[in-house]
Structure 1
Amino acid sequence: MKILHIISSGGMYGAEAVILNMSRTLNENSHSSILGVFSNSANPNLQLHEVATAQGIESHLISCAGQIDRTVPSSIRELVARANADVVHAHGYKADIYCYFALRGSSLPLVSTCHTWYDNDLTVSLYGAADRFILRNYGAVVAVSEDVRHRLLKAGVRKEKIHIVRNGIDLRPFDNAAPSLREISSPDNAPIVGLIGRLATEKGVDIFLRAAARVLADLPATKFVVIGEGPDREQLELLIDELQTRNNVFMLGRRDDMPSVYASLDIMVSASRHEGLPMAILEGMASGRPVIATAVGAVPDVIVDGHTGVLVPSENVEALAAKIVTLLNNAAQRENLGAAAKRLIEEEFSAERMTTDYLHIYEQAIAAKKQQASAHSISSAISQGKTK
Structure 2
Amino acid sequence: MKIAFLTPEYPNKKTGKSGGLGTSILNLATGLVKLGHLVSVLVYQQKKDTIFEEDGITVYQIKNIKIKGLSLLLTQQKVQRLINKLYAEKKLEIVEAPDWTGFTAFLRPKCPLVIRLNGSDTYFCHLDKRPVKTKNKFLEKRALQRADGIISVSQFTADVTKKLFDLKTQITVIPNSIDIAKFQPKNIEAADATILYFGTLIRKKGLLELPFIFNKINKTHPNAKLILIGKDSGDKQTGSNSTWELMKPLFAGEAFKNVDYLGLVTYSKISEHIDKATVCVFPTFAEALPVSWIEAMALKKAIVASNIGWAPEVIDDGLNGFLVHPTNHKVYAEKITKLLNNAALRQSFGGAARKKVEETFAMEEVAKQSLNFYKKFLK
The equivalent position to 1:109 in structure 2, one of 109, 112, 115, is 112
TM-score of the superposed pair, with normalisation by structure 1: 0.82
- Quick check: 1:137 aligned with 2:146? yes
- Quick check: 1:239 aligned with 2:251? no
- Superposed, 1:1-388 pairs within 5 Å as 1-9=1-9, 11-39=17-45, 55-64=55-64, 65=66, 68-84=71-87, 85-94=92-101, 97-103=102-108, 106-116=109-119, 117-119=123-125, 120=128, 121-123=130-132, 126-154=135-163, 155-160=165-170, 162-177=171-186, 189-232=191-234, 234-243=242-251, 244=253, 245-256=255-266, 257-367=269-379
Letter in 1 for 2:97: A
Distance 1:335 1:91 in 2: 36
Unaligned runs of 5+ in 2: 10-15, 235-240
Counterpart of 2:260 in 1: which secondary structure?
A: strand
Mark the CA change 1:272 to 1:78 in structure 2 (over 3 Å): closer, same or farther.
same
Percent of matched pairs sharing the same residue: 23
Alignment partner, residue 12 of structure 2: none
TM-score of the superposed pair, with normalisation by structure 2: 0.84
Letter in 2 for 1:194: L
Distance 1:262 1:202 in 2: 22
Distance 2:179 2:134 in 1: 32
Counterpart of 1:99 in 2: which secondary structure?
A: coil
Letter in 1 for 2:265: R
Is 2:99–2:144's contact at 8 Å kept on the other side of the alignment?
no
Unaligned runs of 5+ in 1: 368-388
Figure out how many residues of one structure are paired with residues of the other and give that number: 349
Is 1:6–1:89's contact at 8 Å kept on the other side of the alignment?
yes
Is the radius of gyration larger for structure 1 or structure 2? 1
Counterpart of 2:301 in 1: which secondary structure?
A: coil
Distance 2:85 2:36 in 1: 19
Instruction: Report the CA distance between 1:126 and its aligned residue.
Output: 4.6
Is 2:27–2:363's contact at 8 Å kept on the other side of the alignment?
yes
Distance 1:301 1:98 in 2: 28
Instruction: Report the CA distance between 1:100 and its aligned residue.
Output: 3.4
Is 1:145–1:165's contact at 8 Å kept on the other side of the alignment?
yes
Instruction: Report the CA distance between 1:212 and its aligned residue.
Output: 1.1
Is 2:80–2:107's contact at 8 Å kept on the other side of the alignment?
yes
Mark the CA change 1:53 to 1:230 in structure 2 (over 3 Å): closer, same or farther.
farther
Is 2:4–2:41's contact at 8 Å kept on the other side of the alignment?
yes
Off by >6 Å, runs of 4+ in structure 1: none
Mark the CA change 1:178 to 1:12 in structure 2 (over 3 Å): closer, same or farther.
farther
Distance 1:100 1:89 in 2: 13
